[in-house]
């Protein structure tokens, strides 16, 4: 690696977790409030179970109350909705999240819309997404928020920079582009129907990619000195975890790059905890 610095999220996330622990202690002492996070987990997807375990472990670290509602693969939409409505009314629950993806027979949008926007700590409800786009205070989706905090930590100001966001999902790509726009970057969004991806990434000062395709971004697709943020996480047949960027070769050209694992991943969970704490602080109105 030639003069390329790693944008590591582990140390920053640890620092954020310590701050949250201190704030939770104060909240308990002064207002007798313990932040509560509820998770709905449908089916037997191994990756989803792993992510939920990490979230539950993270809650334990900061002394949050947490509960996981595990549901069978064939559960009806109505049963999921009933559970969410019950948690919407529960005064001890500050954050509700539905682990995605849901089984094909479930309408994901319909389910997410049932969550009370004031408890939508994943930031996926249309109300919160609308406020993110408008630059208003809201619950921001955790991964894009984590990326912005990581850039801030390394004193990377995107104002005036050309940024290429690869991936246009509702939970990562679109809110990522909105946050970058709000920070006064010039944003280019690419997706599966983009005609010539390289033409877009090659001229960008910052490339942010999150599509779930190993080695999608290769060294010839980025310019010298670019900043590369890899949100993707993929498990190869060998069991190795890799991102969407050909790390070994791209890191020879760029100025900063996030590792996978250990880059954006830890930040996503730290932001989930931060959002849940934010909700708990508003509990008394």
- 124-134 in b/e form (b: 16+ CB < 10 A) is bbebbbebbbe
Structure token pair of residue 249: 């070769």
Distance CA(158)–CA(181), nearest Å, equals 9
Catalytic-role residue among 94, 120, 122, 230: 122
Distance CA(162)–CA(51), nearest Å, equals 32
Asked whether 245 and 217 are in contact (CB, 8 A), the reply is yes
Asked whether 186 and 203 are in contact (CB, 8 A), the reply is no
Which H, E and C letters describe 204-219, residue by residue? CCEEEECCCCCCCECH
Structure token pair of residue 216: 């999608």
Catalytic residue check, 53: no
Catalytic-role residue among 94, 99, 120, 253: 99
Cis amide linkage into residue 261, ω under 30° from 0? yes
Catalytic residue check, 122: yes
- What strands, in cross-sheet order, belong to the sheet with 5-6? 5-6, 256-257, 227-230, 206-209, 162-166, 186-190
DSSP state, residue 255: S
| Residues carrying an active site annotation | 55, 99, 122
């Amino acid at each position: 690696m030639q003069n390329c610095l790693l944008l590591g999220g582990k140390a920053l996330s640890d620092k954020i977790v310590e701050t949250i622990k201190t704030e939770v202690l104060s909240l308990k002492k002064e207002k007798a409030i313990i932040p509560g996070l509820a998770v709905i987990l449908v089916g037997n997807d191994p990756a989803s179970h792993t992510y939920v375990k990490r979230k539950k472990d993270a809650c334990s670290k900061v002394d949050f109350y947490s509960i996981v509602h595990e549901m069978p693969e064939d559960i009806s939409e109505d049963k999921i909705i009933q559970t969410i409505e019950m948690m919407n009314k529960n005064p001890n629950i500050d954050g509700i999240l539905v682990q995605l993806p849901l089984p094909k027979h479930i309408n994901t949008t319909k389910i997410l819309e049932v969550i009370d926007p004031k408890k939508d700590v994943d930031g996926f409800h249309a109300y919160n997404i609308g406020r993110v786009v408008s630059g208003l205070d809201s619950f921001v989706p955790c991964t894009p928020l984590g990326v912005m905090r990581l850039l801030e930590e390394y004193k990377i100001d995107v104002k005036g920079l050309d940024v290429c966001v690869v991936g246009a999902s509702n939970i990562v790509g679109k809110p990522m582009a909105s946050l970058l726009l709000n920070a006064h970057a010039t944003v280019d969004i690419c997706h599966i129907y983009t005609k010539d991806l390289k033409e877009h990434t090659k001229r960008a000062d910052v490339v942010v990619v999150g599509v779930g395709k190993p080695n999608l971004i290769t060294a010839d697709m980025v310019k010298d000195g670019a900043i590369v943020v890899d949100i993707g996480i993929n498990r190869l047949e060998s069991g190795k975890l890799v991102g969407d960027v050909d790390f070994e070769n791209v890191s020879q050209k760029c100025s900063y790059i996030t590792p996978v694992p250990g880059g954006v991943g830890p930040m996503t969970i730290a932001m989930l905890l931060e959002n849940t704490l934010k909700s708990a602080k508003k509990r008394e109105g």
